[in-house]
Structure 1
Amino acid sequence: MKYYCYILTNKNRTVLYIGYTDNLKRRVEQHKKGNGALFTKKYSVCELIYFEEFIDSNSARKREKQLKNWHKDWKWNLIKESNPSLITLEVE
Structure 2
Amino acid sequence: MRQPCTYILTNRGNQLFYIGVTSDIAARMMHHRAGEGSVHCRRYNIRKLVHVEFHATMPDAIARERALKEWHRDWKRRLVDEQNPDWNDLFDTILG
- TM-score (norm. length: structure 2): 0.92
Q: How does 1:1-92 map to 2 (within 5 A)?
A: 2-89=3-90, 90=92, 91-92=94-95
Calculate the TM-score normalised by the size of structure 1: 0.96
Q: Distance in 2 between matches of 1:38 and 1:77?
A: 26
In 2: Cα distance, 1:86 partner to 1:62 partner: 24
Aligned residues, how many? 92
Share of identical aligned residues, percent?
Answer: 34
Q: Higher helix share goes to which structure? A: 2
What is the distance in 1 between the residues matched to 2:50 and 2:30?
14
Q: Deviations over 1:1-56 (max 9, x none)?
A: 61010000011111110000000011111011110111101110011000100111
Q: In the aligned structure 2, how far is the partner of 1:68 from the partner of 1:7?
A: 10
Q: What's the RMSD between the two structures over aligned residues? A: 0.9
How far apart, in 2, do the equivalents of 1:31 and 1:2 lie?
Answer: 18
Gaps of 5+ in 2: none
